[in-house]
Chains A and B, each alone.
Chain A
Amino acid sequence: MTRRAPLLLALAIVAAATAPADAYLKLGSRIGTRTVTLKWPAMPIRYFVTDRGVPGVTSQQLQQTVARAFATWDGVSTAAVSSQFVGFTTATPRGGDGATVIGFQSRPDLDRTLGATSFLIDTLTGDIVESDIFLNTTFAWSVAAQGDPAAFDLESIALHEIGHLHGLAHSALGETELRAGGRRVLASESVMFPIAFSPGSVALRTVRPDDIAGLSDLYPATGFSRRTGSISGKVTKSGRGVLGAHIVAFNPRNGSLVGGFSLSDDGSFVIAGLEPGPHVLRVEPIDDAEVDSFLDLTLGVDVDFRVKFHEKLVVVPRGGGATKIEIKVLPK
């Protein structure tokens, strides 16, 4: 999975399929006719960091920054994840050697890609055997505490890629505008939004409710499923299911936003890991990044409908689900 520079026009090919499972998006792999969710079978995740720096960032600073990004994910109290730095390596972050390696790599061919995460998986179980992250030296990088307007914030991008490393796919919780040369991100409320903030921004060094719900759904800590609930239903247009609709659950009590997608032809969706209580549902087409940043284009994603709110407050029960919600949208 890749994180793109703001001017990205074409996506790098994503090897992993999207798992049609609860909420947000989790990475998956097609094995025969079934899709298995990618996840680590055991903790801690042991990783190496390449012994290579770039102008403005030493290898020591790279390691410290990656450790902070891992610690941010490890600090999600509702998820059972942990990590361990093993040591520096001269190996490149390239798959197939059995070691999880994170480091800089020169990829001038990917001049719109800030970083990418690759996987080696057990094709029977979906277990992640190895995952590597490269950070593209084509771009300028910074570890300055307040950011550097001339360079991308290493910690923010590492946090996003490590989200992929855990098995999370992209979130659509972000707003963009089209300008000459490409899209510019106006705002985002998920570390896993596919397009990075501008150089100098350090706003996405912390995980958001959408990220927390996704990680916790993949690696639930004890009691997580008892303390939280889900919303499931379908999005329809003229009586037929809408595939690829982005549904956002907003909690008016605490302001949290957690997103999900309708991932089947009948428009079914599930958003899990929600705090109990009333939620507002908002549905929109995927229009703030390229569709294939989220879903396989061959699925036939429908983006021809208007944004709307569901007319009912949906109450998430503790340890259960609010089901059979139907959100009817209109064509544009």
Chain B
Amino acid sequence: MTRRAVTPRWRRTIALVLMAGTLSLGASEAAAQVWAGPSGPRAGSVEVSAGAAFVGKVPLGDRDAEESRNINTGSGPFALFASESTLGAGPAALLRLGVYLSRAVSVEAGVQYGRPRLSTRLSGDVEQAPTVTADETLTRYLIDGSLLLHLTGLSFAGGRGVPFVSAGGGYLRELHEQNQLIETGREYHAGGGVKFWMGTGARLGIRVDAGASMRSGGVDFRTGRRTAPMAAGSVMYRF
């Protein structure tokens, strides 16, 4: 594992999340009666949601198959062929269980299941082997936890819709084809979305998420963290 400093880009992201959270908490007193009406979530309310996520493509880097060069035959390593690897974009099924700590704050646990494709493009062979993309299909499980801050002061549609910001982390478990090898890692995510409650009791709703998922470990051809865009849509029910 390499240790990396927080980059200015991430500092900005964290600052935005914190700022949005502060705004939400500050606004919640005034708007609390609006969001989802009197029967809206309160401390102890439980929310379940199920849906689908879409995780973007993650480049895993390029690497030449190199041999040591004899002297007087050129400079630098001798490339037998080139490789470029990618973890493909793809859908994942997701299931979440959340508990409200207050009307504005909830915590949730989730699990995602996906089958992304790991591919390596092989090209530039010194003996003219045809270019090929070799691949395999992974089985990925992500078990995570998140903190959600509902921006109740920004609720809309008569309090039925509410934006939120979220951040969290989880455990990544990726299995290669035929489950012959398991690779584990960590996942961190930050983002936001909108919840929209329907019906008179405001118990059933839909939820849309978008954000970034940062991962370390798991199937990776480079050391360090990698980030992919993530979007999700789900149906939720509140008890």
Contacts and interface: CB of A to CB of B under 8 A. Distances in A.
Interface residues of B, number: 42
A309 B80 contact: no
B180 A322 contact: yes
Interface stretch (B26-34, B104-112, B128-136): B128-136
B80 A257 contact: yes
Report the 10 A-B pairs with minimum CB-CB distance, sorted nearest first.
A187-B78, A187-B67, A317-B180, A315-B176, A189-B67, A307-B129, A309-B132, A313-B136, A307-B127, A201-B71
Contact of B120 (A174, A257, A278): A278
23 contacts: A147-B71, A185-B70, A185-B73, A186-B73, A186-B74, A197-B71, A198-B71, A198-B72, A248-B80, A252-B221, A257-B65, A257-B80, A280-B83, A282-B81, A284-B127, A287-B127, A306-B129, A309-B130, A309-B132, A312-B134, A313-B120, A313-B134, A313-B136
Nearest to A256: B65
B122 interface: yes
Contact of B129 (A147, A201, A309): A309
A317 B181 contact: yes
Interface in B43-77: 60, 63-74, 77
Contacts of B219: 278
Contacts of B1: none
A198 B72 CA distance: 8
Interface string B73-116: 11001101101010000000000000000000000000000000
B118 interface: yes
A309 B63 contact: no
Contacts of B181: 276-277, 315-318
A280 B121 CA distance: 10
A313 B83 CA distance: 12
A278 B63 CA distance: 14
A248 B122 CA distance: 13
A252 B80 CA distance: 13
A252 B120 contact: yes
B67 A311 contact: no
Contact of B70 (A184, A257, A282, A287): A184
Contact of B67 (A173, A278, A317): A173
B68 A203 contact: yes
B126 interface: yes
B56 to A, nearest CB: 21
Contacts of B132: 308-309, 311
Interface in B155-203: 176-178, 180-181, 183
A200 interface: yes
B127 A186 contact: no
Contacts of B128: 307
B66 to A, nearest CB: 6
Given A315-B180, A322-B180, 13 more contacts: A174-B67, A175-B67, A188-B67, A197-B71, A198-B72, A201-B71, A250-B81, A252-B60, A252-B63, A255-B66, A282-B80, A307-B125, A307-B129
Contacts of A278: 118, 120, 136, 176, 219
A227 interface: no
B230 to A, nearest CB: 24
Nearest to A288: B127
A23 interface: no
A242 to B, nearest CB: 15
Contacts of A322: 180
A200 B74 CA distance: 15
A320 interface: yes
A250 B73 contact: no
A114 interface: no
B177 A308 contact: no
A253 interface: yes
Nearest to B64: A255
B180 A320 contact: yes
B68 A188 contact: yes
